[in-house]
Amino acid sequence: MERKTKVNAEDNTQELQIVREFDLPLELLFKAYAEPEIVEQWMGTKVLKLENKNHGGYQFETTDPKGNKHRFNGVIHEFVSNEKITRTFEMENTPFDVQLEFLTFEKLTEDTSKLTMHVLYKSTEVRNQILALPFAQGINMAHNRIQDIVSKLK
């Protein structure tokens, strides 16, 4: 399987790159980012606001397995259909500073396309903390499950 998501995060930098080639025409790939109902499906999030235009904004909301709601928002600096989205991204009510994202959409063939996400963080430390998040969350979820099981035994 060659068509996999690649993440490049060099040591001691405050940026990273996520690159993915899709088995989809460019227009369909871009649509997945532009249409709120479609964003909701693949991001697993509710779209509260999505203004696809220069100087627009967006806000998403996810619900975790415990029912807690988490919101994300940002400002869309530049929006060019089938070409690029430049935006900020911020997790609300977390200590993480806002990040800047450059999304570039490219046509490879009639049926394939490529997305490059270039993300800039406030510092190397912030980047590394955010990189570690999915693993930490997985561990916490497993830990909570253990606690549930153990408390049932008592």
Partner 1 sequence: MNLRRDVFQAIADPTRRAILILVASQSMTAGAIASNFDTARPTVSKHLQILTECELLEQEQNGREISYHINAKKMKEVADFIEPFRTMWDDRFNKLENIMKIYQDKK
Q: Which helix (H) or strand (E) holds 58?
A: strand 56-63
Nearer to partner 1, 38 or 120 (CB): 38
Binding mask 121-150 for partner 1 (x = CB under 8 A): ---------xxxxxx--xx-xxx-xx--xx
* Number of residues engaging partner 1 in binding (CB under 8 A): 37
What value does the CA radius of gyration of the chain take, rounded to a whole number of Å?
18
Q: Does residue 107 bind partner 1 (CB under 8 A)?
A: no
Which single residue is written with the structure tokens 């996999």? 4
Asked if 67 is part of the footprint of partner 1 (rule: CB under 8 A), the reply reads no
Give the shortest CB-129-to-partner 1 separation in angstroms: 11
Smallest gap from residue 7 Cβ to partner 1 (A): 4
Total residues found in the chain within this entry: 154
Residue 83's nearest CA partner among 106, 57, 54, 111 is 106
* 81 lies in the binding site for partner 1 (CB under 8 A): no
- 55 in contact with partner 1 (CB under 8 A): no
Q: Is the dihedral of CA 92, 128, 40, 139 positive or negative?
A: negative
